[in-house]
């Protein structure tokens, strides 16, 4: 079975690499090795076609997994790809970065029976990478061109999925994004060792070739107002994600060498495009030869620690205030990070950043224990009174993200948001409190997952289509 398991390119999971982080930095490439066709068939044929497709229920897109696994096992890869891409706009991306252990693979019947899950994500990736290689993915040619247009704010996975679905129906689609490239967190958040940037760029090119227009460096709410978009398009989608970083509140947090996770990851991702990034080029945002402490226990924190290892950090420590079992990030990611040499300090909360002449030199951490469960049922961490110091010349805050104040930015007080600032929608239609304006992805759910953003984008596009079709029919009747 060895050849068909997910493999690391550096060391097997059973043999932790004991070398210092710096020495290991150059060894790491991608989580997955490519499948050979035989290995993919062999892995796909492990699916027992159990009759109760739990895997499908575990996938937010309700992907028809058993069917495309069977087709892949039979070597009918083009049909497998057509089946898989019928419900997913970016199967090769989900195959790479979905936390499958919490989704489709976590409830695979074979996994539940103790025989190790069918590696659904890597087969999905293989099928779609093959489709691109073989030229099966061709630009969209809608059966009919429509006069109506949709304006989409945000070129992350929610906006891109909606753009594709609407273009397929023949609408004119324009996507506006504040960044200089499409992809949102797919390009500037998620590191390249998990998701290669050319895989995302290929998707943007495909949409451009399909007639979708992109207007980059266009932050809606600044030069272009939301009202202007509403006047220019028949339907508008807000898919702006969540970018207000939660901050650390402790003495010393303003010291030199303390950074927000997204600033750190964006700089690293921009370097991989060859961009000039002054704060990286000056060494400030480069972890090379530094003692790095990352604060947080989610997937963003895992991306930071693993990026720091790859940049050649002297040491990387992750502080999280709960224990391993209660961390929000994927267990697989923690395992990856541990194998790469990251030290985890569980039940540790930063009390202060200690500095020397304004420069961070250590994090003083308070030891915690788990107390009574809170309203959500999770045990709250409480201080034990003990402290310890971890040396640090770079501290990265990875505590999560909140929505920005969109009603203020868009000067639309009538845009209803919930108490966390996420946009309120009618979940049957994804329509906001503003008629003809829809919302999808993280800006509705709060920080979530790519696969949920795709699902929301598809649902919103369907509702936008229904509304525009109804408006077209009404206009026809009125004209008669
Ligand atoms: C570091 C990190 C790692 C992650 N890793 C994973 C992972 O491994 N797997 C996974 O499933 N999920 C992961 N996620 C979560 C995932 O990236 C998000 O859930 C997903 O990208 C949300 O998609 P979205 O389209 O809603 O928003 P985004 O991807 O955030 O895209 C929003 C876009 O809107 C643009 N925008 C914002 N405001 C404006 C404006 N006013 N005008 C114009 N444009 C605007 C932004 O520039 C951006 O391009 C990660 C998140 C982070 C931060
Ligand atoms: S989209 Fe994600 S959850 Fe769904 S089958 Fe693919 S990897 Fe699994």
Q: 449 alpha carbon to ligand 2 midpoint, in Å? A: 11
Q: Is 451 in the pocket of ligand 2 (CB under 6 A)?
A: yes
Closest CA to ligand 2's atom 8: 104
| DSSP states of 88-113 | -S-HHHHHHHS-GGGTTGGG-HHHHT
Q: What would the two tokens of residue 473 be? A: 């029919």
Torsion angle of C-alpha atoms 331, 333, 338, 341, degrees rounded to 10: -170
Q: Is 84 in the pocket of ligand 2 (CB under 6 A)?
A: no
Give dist(CA 39, CA 41) in Å, integer: 5
What is the pLDDT averaged over residues 224-249?
96
- Ligand 2 nearest atom to the CA of residue 65, by list position: 5
Give dist(CA 345, CA 474) in Å, integer: 62
Q: Which of 188, 193, 396, 391 is nearest to 310 (CA)?
A: 193
Q: What separation, in Å, do the N-terminal and C-terminal C-alpha atoms of the chain show? A: 68
* Tens of pLDDT, residues 137-147: 999 999 999 99
Beta carbons of 152 and 220 less than 8 angstroms apart: no
Give dist(CA 206, CA 68) in Å, integer: 23
User: Which ligand lies nearest the alpha carbon of 447?
Assistant: 1
Residue 333 pLDDT grade (very low, low, confident, very high; cuts 50, 70, 90): confident
CA distances from 261 to 128, 189, 244, 397 (A): 31, 9, 11, 6
Give dist(CA 421, CA 167) in Å, integer: 30
Residue 22 clears pLDDT 80, i.e. is over it: no
Torsion angle of C-alpha atoms 422, 424, 425, 431, degrees rounded to 10: -90
245: Cα separation from own chain's centroid: 15
What is the pLDDT averaged over residues 285-313?
97
pLDDT at res. 372: 86
pLDDT at res. 480: 87
Q: Helix or strand or coil: residue 154? A: coil
What is the pLDDT averaged over residues 348-358?
97
Closest CA to ligand 1's atom 4: 190
Q: Which of 300, 310, 332, 326 is nearest to 318 (CA)?
A: 300
Q: What would the two tokens of residue 451 be? A: 């696969």
Q: Which of 160, 182, 229 is nearest to 410 (CA)?
A: 229
Q: Which of 33, 44, 43 is nearest to 72 (CA)?
A: 44
User: Which ligand lies nearest the alpha carbon of 449?
Assistant: 1
Q: Is 132 in the pocket of ligand 1 (CB under 6 A)?
A: no
Residue 345 clears pLDDT 90, i.e. is over it: yes
Beta carbons of 207 and 163 less than 8 angstroms apart: yes
Residue 27 clears pLDDT 90, i.e. is over it: no
Residue 20 clears pLDDT 50, i.e. is over it: no
**% of the chain surpassing 70 pLDDT:** 93
Q: Using CB atoms within 10 Å of the CB of residue 294, give its burial: 0 to 12 exposed, 13 to 18 middle, 19+ buried.
A: buried
Q: Is 121 in the pocket of ligand 2 (CB under 6 A)?
A: yes
**What are the contacts of 373-378 at 24+ separation with CB within 8 A?**
378/322, 378/326
pLDDT at res. 110: 81
- The partner residues of 373 in beta bridges, in order of sequence, read 379
Q: Is 302 in the pocket of ligand 1 (CB under 6 A)?
A: no
Give dist(CA 351, CA 434) in Å, integer: 44
What is the pLDDT averaged over residues 394-420?
97
Q: What would the two tokens of residue 450 be? A: 């790519």
pLDDT at res. 388: 97
Q: 242 alpha carbon to ligand 1 midpoint, in Å? A: 7
Residue 11 clears pLDDT 60, i.e. is over it: no
* Tens of pLDDT, residues 31-84: 445 678 888 888 888 887 888 889 999 999 999 999 999 999 999 999 999 999
* Tens of pLDDT, residues 158-190: 999 999 999 999 999 999 999 999 999 999 999
Q: Is 92 in the pocket of ligand 2 (CB under 6 A)?
A: no
User: Which ligand lies nearest the alpha carbon of 423?
Assistant: 1
Q: Is 104 in the pocket of ligand 2 (CB under 6 A)?
A: yes
Neighbour tally for 307: CB within 10 Å: 25
Q: Using CB atoms within 10 Å of the CB of residue 376, give its burial: 0 to 12 exposed, 13 to 18 middle, 19+ buried.
A: exposed
Q: Is 297 in the pocket of ligand 1 (CB under 6 A)?
A: no
* Tens of pLDDT, residues 238-294: 999 999 999 999 999 999 999 999 999 999 999 999 999 999 999 999 999 999 999
Residue 458 pLDDT grade (very low, low, confident, very high; cuts 50, 70, 90): very high
Of 72, 93, 94, 97, the one to substitute when testing ligand 2's pocket (max ligand atoms within 8 A of C-beta) is: 94
Residue 19 pLDDT grade (very low, low, confident, very high; cuts 50, 70, 90): very low
pLDDT at res. 319: 97
Q: 46 alpha carbon to ligand 2 midpoint, in Å? A: 17
Closest CA to ligand 1's atom 13: 449
Residue 376 clears pLDDT 80, i.e. is over it: no
- Ligand 1 nearest atom to the CA of residue 243, by list position: 30
pLDDT at res. 33: 53
Closest CA to ligand 2's atom 3: 59
Residue of 39 and 24 predicted with greater confidence: 39
Q: What would the two tokens of residue 383 be? A: 């201080």
pLDDT at res. 34: 63
pLDDT at res. 101: 86
- Ligand 2 nearest atom to the CA of residue 88, by list position: 1
- Ligand 2 nearest atom to the CA of residue 103, by list position: 3
Angle at 259 between CA 197 and CA 272, to 5 degrees: 20
Q: Is 98 in the pocket of ligand 2 (CB under 6 A)?
A: yes
Q: Is 89 in the pocket of ligand 2 (CB under 6 A)?
A: no
Q: Is 88 in the pocket of ligand 2 (CB under 6 A)?
A: yes
Residue 205 clears pLDDT 90, i.e. is over it: yes
pLDDT at res. 13: 31
């Amino acid at each position: 079975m060895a050849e068909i398991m997910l493999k690391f390119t550096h060391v097997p999971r059973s043999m932790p690499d004991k070398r210092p982080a710096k020495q290991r930095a150059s060894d790491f490439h991608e989580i997955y090795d490519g499948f050979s066709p035989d290995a993919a068939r062999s892995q796909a044929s492990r699916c027992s076609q159990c009759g109760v497709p739990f895997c499908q229920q575990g996938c937010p897109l309700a992907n028809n997994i058993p069917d495309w696994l069977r087709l892949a096992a039979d070597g009918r890869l083009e049909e497998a790809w057509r089946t898989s891409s019928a419900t997913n706009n970016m199967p090769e991306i989900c195959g790479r970065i979905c936390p499958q252990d919490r989704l489709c693979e976590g409830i695979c019947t074979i996994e539940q029976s103790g025989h190790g899950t069918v590696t659904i994500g890597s087969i999905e990736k293989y099928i779609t990478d093959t489709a691109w290689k073989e030229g099966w993915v061709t630009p969209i040619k809608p059966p009919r061109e429509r006069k109506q247009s949709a304006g989409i704010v945000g070129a992350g996975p929610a906006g891109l999925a909606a753009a594709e679905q609407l273009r397929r129906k023949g609408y004119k689609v324009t996507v506006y994004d504040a960044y200089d490239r499409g992809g949102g967190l797919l390009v500037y958040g998620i590191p390249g060792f998990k998701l290669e940037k050319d895989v995302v760029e290929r998707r943007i090119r495909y949409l451009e070739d399909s007639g979708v227009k992109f207007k980059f460096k266009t932050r809606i709410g600044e030069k272009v107002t939301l009202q202007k978009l509403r006047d220019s398009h028949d339907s508008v989608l807000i898919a702006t994600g969540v970018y207000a970083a939660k901050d650390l509140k402790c003495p010393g947090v303003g010291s030199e060498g303390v950074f927000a996770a997204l600033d750190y990851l964006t700089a690293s991702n921009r370097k991989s495009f060859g961009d000039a990034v002054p704060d990286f080029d000056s060494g400030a945002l480069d972890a090379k030869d530094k003692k790095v402490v990352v604060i947080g226990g989610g997937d963003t924190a895992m991306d930071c620690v693993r990026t720091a290892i790859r940049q050649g950090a002297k040491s990387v420590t992750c502080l999280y205030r709960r224990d391993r079992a209660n961390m929000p990030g994927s267990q697989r990611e923690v395992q990856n990070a541990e194998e790469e040499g990251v030290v985890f300090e569980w039940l540790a909360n930063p009390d202060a950043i200690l500095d020397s002449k304004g420069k961070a030199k250590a994090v003083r951490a308070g030891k915690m224990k788990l107390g009574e469960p809170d309203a959500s049922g999770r045990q709250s961490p409480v201080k034990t009174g003990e402290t310890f110091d971890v040396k640090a010349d770079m501290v990265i805050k990875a505590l999560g993200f909140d929505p920005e104040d969109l009603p203020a930015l868009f000067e639309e007080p009538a845009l209803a948001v919930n108490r966390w600032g996420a946009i309120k929608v009618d979940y049957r239609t994804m329509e906001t409190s503003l008629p003809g304006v829809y919302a999808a992805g993280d800006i509705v759910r709060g920080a979530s997952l790519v696969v949920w953003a795709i699902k929301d984008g598809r649902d919103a596009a369907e509702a936008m289509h229904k509304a525009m079709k109804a408006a077209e029919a009404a206009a026809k009747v009125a004209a008669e």
